[in-house]
């Protein structure tokens, strides 16, 4: 605990405040300019919220466009350090609202940005080179408690490490998903012909595992830090060029700089040559109780981040198929799914049956994601139940006729077509109405192969 309370240079926090604010400004403006906000929030008439948070609804009309522009403005204000505590807290709230009111386009890096924005609220990143300091000079400080920097570093190591853990599965090791992705990238200018080659595919498979497991620890070790940073830089630029994952690669590159020492960051970005010993003698401005509370929060938060991504190991079934425990677990680029789902609505009183094409209600992105996620199928069934009750059907029963192909395997039903989803309550964990992954696929196939060889 005492080690976490020691003073270190504040320049890493100042650097990251500036880069984070700049990236969030670009993210907010870019999401509007490329119509991403319009496609995901404005055009759909039905939205899929997270179970338990369905009461969170996107703003009507072009409200979400204005919200993203507001977040861009808040990003700019965070960058310059104007009313930092207020603007960072507002950004955390608005970004969380936009993230949790629609899960169709769930992205791990949006979840990470939301977490980091929440952490920044409690950090003293505004106590140097900010408009807040210009307005209140007494705020200025050269140091911050050590836990503020290690909180970021530990979070990044966990993201990388759990991405590696997730890759230890037969489908990744057999290059199932990677082969499908690379085959779809051959039209890319210059690099396209080289992507769908055995050498590149296996480089991505094994290079991805080695990278994810080792890069965080290599960044922590001073002797390998510089090489590790440039390896990570190349890795993220490759992902940006090939997979088009938005701001995430640049966010991670900016965050990886935090693994360097405060005196290096001060020298490189702020032209300050300061000895580490100078900082160890400088007083921390916060009261002792605040410093201890922050260090305790750091421990509790990282414990949660360490345990929560492991929950899918305790839920029966293949997480790639059922999606139970997939979100919020740093499981990135592991599977590709293609499927379809239609619905039958039966009047429980008259047995009259109506065929329902979800495309009547949903936009293209929702139609693409609906067959992949049992929870979304269940939510749409509840919508149909309410919709047909509104139309006068007394006891509507809703059945899903689905087909799903995971990582190129033959398609199979993801939901039991004989179960009335309108009558099934949603429960956490494994669900009886979600079919198991076929024995010919994935982990069951690997287990059977091992048993046969024995």
Q: What is the pLDDT of residue 3?
A: 72
301 & 355 share domain: no
| 99 is a domain residue | yes
> Which residue, of 255, 277, 312, is where some domain finishes?
312
Tell me the CA distances in angstroms from 376 to 47, 330, 351, one per residue in order.
10, 20, 26
Are the CB atoms for 156 and 428 separated by under 8 Å? no
Same domain, 216 and 301: yes
408 contacts 180 by C-beta, under 8 angstroms: yes
- Based on the domain organization, do 273 and 421 belong to the same domain? no
Considering the domain architecture, whether residues 178 and 268 belong to the same structural domain is answered as: yes
Residue 183 lies in a domain: yes
Cα angle, residue 319 at apex, residues 314 and 323 outer, rounded to 5°: 115
Element (H, E) at 342: strand 337-347
Each residue's pLDDT tens digit, 109-118: 999 999 999 9
Which pLDDT score is estimated for 448? 47
Q: What is the mean pLDDT of residues 239-255?
A: 93
Q: Which helix (H) or strand (E) holds 293?
A: helix 288-307
**Binning pLDDT at 50, 70 and 90, where does residue 442 land?**
low
Residues 287 and 424 occupy one common structural domain:
no
Is residue 329 included in any domain, yes or no?
A: no
Per DSSP, what are the bridge partners of residue 353? 346
Domain span at 448: 336-453
Does residue 135 sit in the same domain as residue 277?
yes
The answer to whether residue 233 sits within a structural domain is yes
Residue-wise DSSP of 346-373? EETTT--EEEE-GGGT--HHHHHHGGG-
- Residue 300 sits in the same domain as residue 421: no
The answer for residues whose C-beta is within 8 angstroms of residue 10's C-beta and 6 or more apart is 124, 125, 127, 128, 141, 142, 143, 144, 262
- Other Cβ atoms within 10 Å of 189 Cβ, number: 5
Q: What is the pLDDT of residue 420?
A: 97
Residues 67 and 181 occupy one common structural domain: yes
**Is it the case that residue 450 has pLDDT exceeding 80?**
no
For 331-367, the pLDDT digits (tens) are 998 999 999 999 999 998 899 999 999 999 999 999 9
The predicted structure's pLDDT at residue 440: 61
The span from the CA of 428 to the CA of 396, in Å, is 24
444 compared with 20, residue with greater pLDDT: 20
Contacts with 235 (C-beta within 8 Å, 6 or more apart), sequence order: 211, 215
Q: 325 in a domain, yes or no?
A: no
Q: What is the pLDDT of residues 253-301, one digit of tens each?
A: 999 999 999 999 999 999 988 877 776 666 676 777 777 888 889 999 9
Share above pLDDT 70 across residues of the chain, in percent, rounded to a whole number = 95
Q: Are residue 351 and residue 277 in the same domain, yes or no? A: no
- CA angle 244/47/316 to nearest 5° reads 75
| 318 assigned to some structural domain | no
Same domain, residue pair 307 and 377? no
Angle at 164 (CA atoms; ends 149, 255), nearest 5 degrees: 25
């Amino acid at each position: 605990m005492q080690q976490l309370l020691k003073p270190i240079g504040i320049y890493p926090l100042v650097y990251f405040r500036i880069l984070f604010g700049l990236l969030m400004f670009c993210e907010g403006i870019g999401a509007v300019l490329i119509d991403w906000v319009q496609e995901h929030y404005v055009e759909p008439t039905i939205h899929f919220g997270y179970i338990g948070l369905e009461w969170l609804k996107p703003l009507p009309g072009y409200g979400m466009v204005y919200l993203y522009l507001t977040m861009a403005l808040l990003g700019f204000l965070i960058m310059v350090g104007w009313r930092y505590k207020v603007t960072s807290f507002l950004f955390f709230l608005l970004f969380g609202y936009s993230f949790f009111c629609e899960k169709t386009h769930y992205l791990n890096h949006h979840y990470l940005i939301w977490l980091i924005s929440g952490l920044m609220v409690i950090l003293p990143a505004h106590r140097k080179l900010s408009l807040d300091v210009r307005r209140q000079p007494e705020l200025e400080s050269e140091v911050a408690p050590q836990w503020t920097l290690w909180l970021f570093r530990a979070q990044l190591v966990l993201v990388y490490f759990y991405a590696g853990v997730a890759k230890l599965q037969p489908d990744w090791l057999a290059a199932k998903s990677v082969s499908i992705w690379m085959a779809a990238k051959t039209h890319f200018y210059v690099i396209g012909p080289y992507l769908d080659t055995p050498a590149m595919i296996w480089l991505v498979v094994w290079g991805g595992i080695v990278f994810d497991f080792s890069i965080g620890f290599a960044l922590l070790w001073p002797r390998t830090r510089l090489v590790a940073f440039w390896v990570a830089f190349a890795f993220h630029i490759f992902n940006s060029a090939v997979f088009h994952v938005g701001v995430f690669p640049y966010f991670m590159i900016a965050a990886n700089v935090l693994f360097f020492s405060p005196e290096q960051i001060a020298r490189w970005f702020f032209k300050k040559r300061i000895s580490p010993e100078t900082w160890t003698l400088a007083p921390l401005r916060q009261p002792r109780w605040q410093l201890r509370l922050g260090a305790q929060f750091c421990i509790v938060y990282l414990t949660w981040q360490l345990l929560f991504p492991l929950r899918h190991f305790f839920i029966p079934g293949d997480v790639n198929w059922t999606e139970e425990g997939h979100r919020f677990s740093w499981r990135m680029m592991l599977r590709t799914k293609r499927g379809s789902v239609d619905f039958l609505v039966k009047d429980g009183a008259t047995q009259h049956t109506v065929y329902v094409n979800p495309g009547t209600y949903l936009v293209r992105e929702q139609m693409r994601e609906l067959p992949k996620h049992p929870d979304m199928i269940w939510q749409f069934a509840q919508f149909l139940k309410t919709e047909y009750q509104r139309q006068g059907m007394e006891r509507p029963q809703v059945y899903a006729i689905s087909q799903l192909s995971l990582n190129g395997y033959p398609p199979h039903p993801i939901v039991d077509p004989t179960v009335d989803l309108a009558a099934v309550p949603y429960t956490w964990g494994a669900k009886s109405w979600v079919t198991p992954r076929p024995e010919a696929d994935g982990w069951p196939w690997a287990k059977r192969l091992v048993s046969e060889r024995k």
